[in-house]
Structure 1
Amino acid sequence: MSSKFLPPVAFRFYDSSRWTKSSLDNWSDIQLQNLLKLKINRVAIVQQLKVEHILDYLHDEGVLTRRECDFIIGCENPTDRARILVDILPTKTGQCDWYKLFKKSLMNPDTDSEDIKKQYRMLIDFMENTLLPEQLQVETERRGSDAGRLPYYRPIPGISKFWTGTKEAPRTSETDEENGRSGRRKKKCSFTLVDLDEANVIFPAWYQSKLTESDRLFNQLSQSKKEEDKKQLSREETALETMKKLEFLFTLQNDDLLTDEFELCLSNFFHKFVTDTHYIPAYLKYLHSLKDSNSIDIIDEVSSRMIEILNEPKTKTERDLIKIFEIVLGLADILLEMGNENKAENLLRAAKNLTNPDVVWYYRLDAVLIKIHIDRAEFNEARALIQESPKFEKSAIYVQTARLNREEGNLEAALEYSKKALEEAAGEETFKTEDSINAKIEMSLTEALMWRLKDAEETSQNAFLVAEANYGKRHPIFYRACLNYFEILKQFNNDIELYKLTKRLLYSVETCYDSGLSLLVADVNRLMASIMIALQQDQSKWYNCATKAVETAQELYPPNHPKIAYFRATLAQCLYCVGRLENKKEELTWAEKEASTVLEMYRLHWGEESIKTALATALLAQIQTKLGKTDEARAALEVIEQRHSSTYLQVLIGSFYNEISAPVEAINILRKALQPPPYTQKVFLKWISKAFELLNALLHACGNIQGAYEIESEYSDWAVANNELNVEWATVFIICGK
């Protein structure tokens, strides 16, 4: 509706921006605030308000006259009705408390729709939580001083008094002054860090955080008698308060209510936030909550701002550089925890451009970049980065080099680099403990692949003990070491004991992360599912664990990310076991689909020759056998047999031949797998035990009693020789703590 068609009473208030200096002179501070709240939220109110829900109430309370109500209702366009109402309301200043009555009308609208009532309550929240930067300008114009600052708005303590560096020269460009907010995002920032600490962040009375504590978690921790739970409760309370402060500062900076010198991403407050790793699990759930519920991705936006700053050529002091690198590395770790690999990579590369290869921090940035490439199975890119950093004989680089060689199947080289990493870590200062743990984890994984399982157990146990001694039992590094230790122990015989330990670990991890989105939560659920599959019990539980692991990984990473393949492989195995035990074709068909997807992902990222591809092929063949697709399964396994001499794979193939009633082929390949018997392992491996038992049963079935007797004797000798150095589970329980 054009303004020229409005009657005089509406035309006078059609444009609420016409308030002049003289017309505002007699208004109180509260009245000015109410006017600004209405103006700032005008668009949202006009779009969402249906005036017929509140007009009668406003008329009964004396806010609107009958003539004004009739005129508003006479407009055909609902948007025009709301717009005219919003323009009329401020004219009632001095006659009634129109703002208070307007809020009451929204709280009690004339409608039965719960959705509309909820929508109006949100409108009220918007108005009540409105930041009022324009109020300062209005008050200054009216009174010619700073006296008009809102009485209940207390900005954070003058940041300028905490400023320790040299400010830039004042801007002289009129364009920058006129651009307002858009100009701030383009301004050149100093690299000097503002010393704003957490204690200096004070909430004003009007501020309402969107974050709330988890009642379930806080009740669980407060009622627990465990010492670790009590410590975590204290950390959770601190983390929630810190997150609210981060949210508050982020809001102020986005609305340009902080000084130009202040940058959140460079502040001491944010430095502590990203580097105090004990609180990261608690921070993650709140960061995900803001992202999912309110579409506020603080870490992503702060990272973007950091990249802008790093790309600006400035003169840096050594002290500034060290702090910037610490912030970048901590921020990159959080981004990776949230699955945002692309932003983490951009951030790290921007930081690399800031320095040069002669700076010692350069290798640390490279190490994380190499890790990202290996996580994506981008092995050529990872190797190129390693070759670019030949001068840095540092533990972090050696760990990633060892991992790259392990992923590519070069186990001897991987073990050698793991040992180098451990040696270098002993001589470091800042990252000595963390690098030492990472080196031991990598070494144990390589030893396990080489079937040096007793060595792997001892190495992983040592990493576990070092992590516990230095970080405690509720820290991400401890959880990684513990998970690796249990993965190694899974190779041994006593599944029920490991089940108890893993169940305890799962409780601890889900309590610490509050069952939130984390790759660690997914990994522990995957391990739990695989152990319960081996035990063949609690079907619903291990199915739930396998499903949760996959869903968590899929929420964190893109559909074809290599990491998802690990979790889908466990789910496929889970579905296969359910289908086999209960003879359910639907589960078997689903398992075949999952296994086929996993196989394609392994082929794509690791190639046809990889042991991962071979294991996925063996799993798919097992599923196809139960579905009656024997020829397809046999053809696939014959290819594996020709390419790989792994004892483990030969046992799998022997089991397959037994499954399809081909005893001769099964006996031949099982004999090949167990000749000579693997005495040198010095570990009682359950799958070798099952191979002996299967071969013995097949020989008996074929009438080869003499052969069966020889296998029984061989099995007995092997069991005695290897059981002496088996895992002492009582010791493991003591190590892990009751």
Structure 2
Amino acid sequence: MRLRINRIALVQELRVEHVLGQLVEYGVVSEDDVKKINAGSTPADKARVLVDLLPNKGQHIDWYRAFREALQNPDAGQDVKKRYKILVDFLDNTVIHRPTSQHGNFSDLQSPRHDTLKLPRYNPLPSITADGQAQNVLNIEEERKKEEEKVLREIEETEEQHYTMWDGKFEKTNDAVTLVKGYFQQWIPTPDNFRSLLSVIINYYHTSKEVPEEHFRKLEKSTDSDDKEQLEQEKLVLERIKKLELVTVLARRKLLPVGFELCMCDIVQTIFQEPEHYHLYFKYLKSLEANDVNLLQDIVSSFYSVLKSNNKVARNSESVKQFTILAFYLIDFMTEYGYYTDAEKVMSVLMSFLSESHHLDIWMTKYRGYVKLMHLRNRNYDFYGASQAYQAAVEMTWQIKLMSFGMDIIDEGELHSELSHMMLELGSINPAFSWSQRALKEMKASDKALIVNTLCNAVMTYCAKWQVKRAEKLAIYAVQFAKQNFGVRNPLYLKALLHLCHFSTEFIQDESSLQLANYALSTAMKIYCCDTIELALSHRAVSKALMVLQKVDTEKYFYRSCDALRIAEKILTKNHPMLYLFLHTSASALQWKAFHANKETQDATLRLAETEGRKALELVLQHYGEVSLRTAQMYALLGQVYSKMDR
């Protein structure tokens, strides 16, 4: 129905060469289909063949989602992408009342029977112009938008003027009404007493470490092209997070239509579908959390509500796919944000939801879910839970491989990488090394993010195995690959840098190690601009490099270790096993400080080092056991401290 209603616009504007490659890759269009399409004499003919061909693919192929994604990411320039964005909006905003979605999920009122039989009301088609040329549908839409903007301006002129601090003067707000889109779209009046907390935080508390105004000023003044690009992304993200904040307020005040779900809102979907921008939202979410506004928790609650409503309706394959895609997006976002426990809860709910269905088309989804669950538990240092997720994933691989096509569709590279990571953390170096090698051989070339993660894990296993030359090549390649595919302002690039820092500090130990660590720290500050575990790890890398080079004259090594521990304690729970990393570095720094201190402060500093070391030892004993490499590491450090204390 969406393609039929928007058929004229699609035929006029679409160029098949921009989307065919992706459709072939997704398995939606076959080689025979490509020949039929290319047989068209004009671009419009080719587009017409494609539009008519897609609906005949049947329900076993998710052709509509693939076509929509192809329109969002065409093989073309920015101008074409902007025009295709209009086509996607046309498709998304086509209101189709379906019994299992629109009416069943979002309305408590039973519509009269005769209303359900009426066709939607449309404006009459434009008349043919005198020169005989058809009018462009997109131009018609632009005229309609101009008319809407005119009405909005009239509404805004009647609103009160509100004070803002962006330019220090009075200005008219643009928030008289807000367009809220989900399964439906509707203009909603903005509450009169609504003021964005983000504007207050950014403008009045610009000295805050959460959202510093200085960050934007530095990006504006910089001549670096990467800074300019990040500035544009920051502006876009700020507008989106403000829209999300406003929609959340409307939902909390019950000003939205009955049945509206925040997680299905267009702004939430837009945020989730751009993983490369996830990190830019963190500083705003943290600032709002500091003001007792947890947008992420509201989205999770909405997700559970959607799950509950889906339990009441028939579970067709399309609804399961939509719900699963939403769940994976939400889990990925929470994982990047550091909400490992909450993300694991969402994943557990999703797996319970999927376990009630035994269709073949969700077997791969279950497998991906178990692998992701293992990833979450590894990051949360729940290795017993990770091993359970691994067993469940292996059972799914057996089921899939029993099918004739199973070997062709399953990819175990990520599973092997997660197993290697778990083995390394538990001290089983030889198995970790073997599984890491296998993961490197089996990883998919198309999944760029997985390649970076697999390379980083391999660096750690090769370092533990003392394969120094190979570890160095992998670490350097990981940085080069991340830079080429994601740019220098991406968390994956920072992750690769930190693993190169680890190698350099352990094996190179020269001035370049310190320069690399300082560069990683400055990169982390520009990427996140707020307290994150990655920033804490960057501070720790600088502290370790300074201590290795014995640059103890300025005590920067000590202050960096303090910053790392402060951030980690702020983000992680009290007994989180990852704290031992920062406690170990802090105790080492205190030991160095005591060694170069005068007699009056030496004993007190060593006692502080002992306290930090004992805390770290308690953590590793609790989570790794009495016999482990981590435990041995802490005993060795405490032994050094006690020797300096003559104990």
Q: What band does the TM-score fall into relative to the shorter chain?
A: 0.5 to 0.7
Contact kept, 8 Å, 2:539 with 2:560, in 1: the verdict is yes
Change (3 A) 1:287 1:467: same
Within the alignment, does 1:406 sit opposite 2:421 as a pair? Answer: no
Within the alignment, does 1:362 sit opposite 2:349 as a pair? Answer: no
**What is the distance in 2 between the residues matched to 1:493 and 1:201?**
61
Q: Return the letter of the residue paired with 1:271.
A: Q
Within the alignment, does 1:171 sit opposite 2:185 as a pair? Answer: no
**What is the distance in 2 between the residues matched to 1:495 and 1:200?**
61
Match of 1:552? 567
Q: Secondary structure at the match of 1:260?
A: coil
Cα deviation, 1:176-220, whole Å, max 9, x if unaligned, reads xxxxxxxxxxxxxxxxx93579x9999788743110343211111
Shift of 1:238: 0.9
Give the gaps of 5 or more residues in structure 1: 1-156, 174-192, 630-738
Change (3 A) 1:470 1:561: same
Match of 1:349? 348
Shift of 1:270: 1.1
Q: Return the letter of the residue paired with 2:236.
A: T
Match of 1:729? none
Q: Return the letter of the residue paired with 1:522.
A: A
Shift of 1:317: 4.8
Within the alignment, does 1:485 sit opposite 2:500 as a pair? Answer: yes
Within the alignment, does 1:211 sit opposite 2:198 as a pair? Answer: yes
Match of 2:439? 421
**What is the distance in 2 between the residues matched to 1:395 and 1:203?**
49
Q: Return the letter of the residue paired with 1:602.
A: V
Equivalent residue in structure 2 for 1:504, among 519, 528, 531: 519
Match of 2:591? 576
Shift of 1:167: 2.3
Equivalent residue in structure 2 for 1:251, among 249, 252, 266: 249
**What is the distance in 1 between the residues matched to 2:595 and 2:560?**
19
Cα deviation, 1:252-297, whole Å, max 9, x if unaligned, reads 11111112243221234212212312322221000000010x2011
**What is the distance in 2 between the residues matched to 1:284 and 1:324?**
24
Match of 2:637? 619
Contact kept, 8 Å, 1:375 with 1:562, in 2: the verdict is no
Change (3 A) 1:585 1:200: farther
Cα deviation, 1:615-635, whole Å, max 9, x if unaligned, reads 111110000111111xxxxxx
**What is the distance in 1 between the residues matched to 2:469 and 2:536?**
27
Q: Return the letter of the residue paired with 1:536.
A: Q
Change (3 A) 1:531 1:257: same
Match of 1:20? none
Within the alignment, does 1:382 sit opposite 2:356 as a pair? Answer: no
Contact kept, 8 Å, 2:262 with 2:302, in 1: the verdict is no
Equivalent residue in structure 2 for 1:598, among 590, 593, 616: 616
Match of 2:547? 533
Within the alignment, does 1:441 sit opposite 2:378 as a pair? Answer: no
**What is the distance in 2 between the residues matched to 1:399 and 1:573?**
31
Contact kept, 8 Å, 2:505 with 2:548, in 1: the verdict is no
Cα deviation, 1:350-395, whole Å, max 9, x if unaligned, reads 1112224843222332223222322343222211111111133522
Change (3 A) 1:168 1:622: same
Contact kept, 8 Å, 1:565 with 1:602, in 2: the verdict is yes
Q: Secondary structure at the match of 2:596?
A: helix
Aligned residues: 447
Match of 1:264? 262
Cα deviation, 1:202-244, whole Å, max 9, x if unaligned, reads 9788743110343211111111121211111111111111110
**What is the distance in 1 between the residues matched to 2:321 and 2:582?**
38
**What is the distance in 2 between the residues matched to 1:164 and 1:557?**
46
Within the alignment, does 1:465 sit opposite 2:470 as a pair? Answer: no
**What is the distance in 2 between the residues matched to 1:363 and 1:271?**
24
**What is the distance in 2 between the residues matched to 1:535 and 1:369?**
40
**What is the distance in 2 between the residues matched to 1:374 and 1:599?**
20
Q: Return the letter of the residue paired with 2:275.
A: T
Give the gaps of 5 or more residues in structure 2: 1-89, 111-180, 203-211, 398-410
Cα deviation, 1:130-176, whole Å, max 9, x if unaligned, reads xxxxxxxxxxxxxxxxxxxxxxxxxxx9x986566542355369xxx
Shift of 1:442: 1.1
Within the alignment, does 1:563 sit opposite 2:498 as a pair? Answer: no
Change (3 A) 1:238 1:200: farther
Shift of 1:480: 0.9
Change (3 A) 1:362 1:239: same
Change (3 A) 1:196 1:621: farther
Change (3 A) 1:336 1:587: farther
Change (3 A) 1:376 1:279: closer
Equivalent residue in structure 1 for 2:182, among 194, 206, 210: 194
Match of 1:298? 295
Shift of 1:563: 0.7
**What is the distance in 1 between the residues matched to 2:521 and 2:577?**
24
Match of 2:228? 230
Contact kept, 8 Å, 2:433 with 2:465, in 1: the verdict is no
Shift of 1:448: 0.4
Change (3 A) 1:398 1:540: same
Cα deviation, 1:704-729, whole Å, max 9, x if unaligned, reads xxxxxxxxxxxxxxxxxxxxxxxxxx
Q: Secondary structure at the match of 2:197?
A: coil
Q: Return the letter of the residue paired with 1:355.
A: L
Within the alignment, does 1:289 sit opposite 2:277 as a pair? Answer: no
Flag the structure with larger Rg: 1
Shift of 1:611: 1.2
Q: Return the letter of the residue paired with 1:255.
A: R
TM-score by length of 2: 0.65
**What is the distance in 2 between the residues matched to 1:331 and 1:270?**
10
Q: Secondary structure at the match of 2:508?
A: coil
Shift of 1:325: 3.2
Q: Return the letter of the residue paired with 1:520.
A: E
**What is the distance in 1 between the residues matched to 2:497 and 2:452?**
11
**What is the distance in 1 between the residues matched to 2:415 and 2:592?**
41
Match of 1:610? 628
TM-score by length of 1: 0.57
Contact kept, 8 Å, 1:167 with 1:261, in 2: the verdict is no
**What is the distance in 2 between the residues matched to 1:259 and 1:160?**
16
Match of 2:510? 495
**What is the distance in 2 between the residues matched to 1:529 and 1:339?**
23
Shift of 1:487: 1.0
Shift of 1:328: 2.4
Change (3 A) 1:200 1:273: farther
Contact kept, 8 Å, 1:519 with 1:553, in 2: the verdict is yes
Contact kept, 8 Å, 1:422 with 1:435, in 2: the verdict is no
**What is the distance in 1 between the residues matched to 2:222 and 2:188?**
32
Within a 5 Å distance, the mapping from 1:37-116 to structure 2 comes to none
Contact kept, 8 Å, 2:341 with 2:380, in 1: the verdict is no
Change (3 A) 1:453 1:220: same
Shift of 1:409: 2.1
Identity of aligned residues (%): 23
Contact kept, 8 Å, 2:371 with 2:393, in 1: the verdict is no
**What is the distance in 2 between the residues matched to 1:580 and 1:163?**
74
